[in-house]
Amino acid sequence: MIKIYVARHGETTWNAEGKIQGRSDPGLSPKGYARSLALVEQVGRNPLTAIYTSTLRRSISTAQPIAQHLGLPIRSQSELDEINFGVLEGKPFLDLDEKTKIEWKRFMEGRLTYRIPGAENYIDVAKRLEPFVAKILQDHENQEILIVGHRGTNRMLIGMLLKCPLTGCLNIAQTYECLYLIERNGEAKVFHYLNSEIKEGLLYERYEVA
C-alpha cells in the first residue's frame, strides 16, 4: 500500500487581495504561514519518507516547517506547478474588465480544452502530471509521502490517483485547511482531514458561469 497526503499551499498575499495567481509567485500571508505550521500538527507524527512540492515558493514555504520537523529534503517538481492562467495572472478576480471577463467565462465553460491566451487548460495539466504520478507510485510503494501543491493542479492529481475520468476531477474542492489522504492497495480510497475530523470521500465545489 502507498499512502499519499495531498495538501494545498497556505494563503498568499495575492489570495488575500483576490488576485488570480497561476504561475505567478507571491509569498505566503501571515494566515498562510500559520497553515504551514498546522501541517506539522496534522502529519508530523507520520512516518513520511518524502515531501514533494511545486517549484513555486508558496508551495515550498508551506512545506518547510514539516520538512524541518521530520528532517526530510523538499523535492520540488515543476509538474506540480499551478495551472498557468496566462494574461489573467495578477488581475483582481472581482474587478475584471469586459475583455478578461469574457476570457474567464470561456475558460470556465471549457476548462478541459480552452486556453486563455498564454495559458494552459486542464488537459495540459493532466498530461504533465502523468509521468509524476507513475513515478511516485513506483518509487514509494509501501511508503507514506506528502505532496504540497495548488488547488488547480491538486484536483487533477487527486482525480488521477483515484483513476477518475478527467471531467470528474474538475470540481474537486480543497480549502487551505483541507488535507487529503489517498490510499492505494489495488483499489483506491480517499479521506479528507478538515476541522479536526477525518472523513472518507471527496469534497466538491460548484461553479456557476455568469
Q: Are 10 and 58 in contact (CB under 8 A)?
A: yes
Q: Assign 208 a pLDDT band (cuts: 50, 70, 90).
A: very low
Does 210 score more than 70 pLDDT?
Answer: no
Question: Residues with Cβ < 8 Å from 127, sequence gap 6 or more?
Answer: none
The per-residue pLDDT for range 123-172, each reduced to its tens digit, is 999 999 999 999 999 999 999 999 999 999 999 999 999 999 999 999 99
Mean pLDDT of 168-193: 95
Percent of the chain with pLDDT over 70: 98
Q: Assign 186 a pLDDT band (cuts: 50, 70, 90).
A: confident
The per-residue pLDDT for range 11-44, each reduced to its tens digit, is 999 999 999 999 999 999 999 999 999 999 999 9
Considering the chain, what is the average pLDDT of its residues? Answer: 95
Whole-model pTM over 0.85: yes
Q: How far apart are CA 26 and CA 23, in angstroms?
A: 9
pLDDT of residue 125: 98
The per-residue pLDDT for range 92-107, each reduced to its tens digit, is 999 999 999 999 999 9
Classify domain 9-171 by CATH architecture: 3-Layer(aba) Sandwich (3.40)
Question: Residues with Cβ < 8 Å from 149, sequence gap 6 or more?
Answer: 6, 7, 8, 9, 53, 54, 59, 80, 82, 157
DSSP the chain: -EEEEEEEPPPBHHHHHTB--TT----B-HHHHHHHHHHHHHHTTS-EEEEEE-SSHHHHHHHHHHHHHHT--EEE-GGGSPPP-GGGTT-BGGG--HHHHHHHHHHHHSTTT---TT---HHHHHHHHHHHHHHHHHHTTT-EEEEEE-HHHHHHHHHHHTT--GGGTTTB---TT-EEEEEEESEEEEEEEETTEEEES--B------
pLDDT of residue 178: 97
Does 207 score more than 60 pLDDT?
Answer: no
Q: Which among 192, 189, 124 is positioned nearest to 163, based on CA atoms?
A: 189
Q: How do the domains of the chain map onto residue ranges?
A: 9-171
pLDDT of residue 195: 87
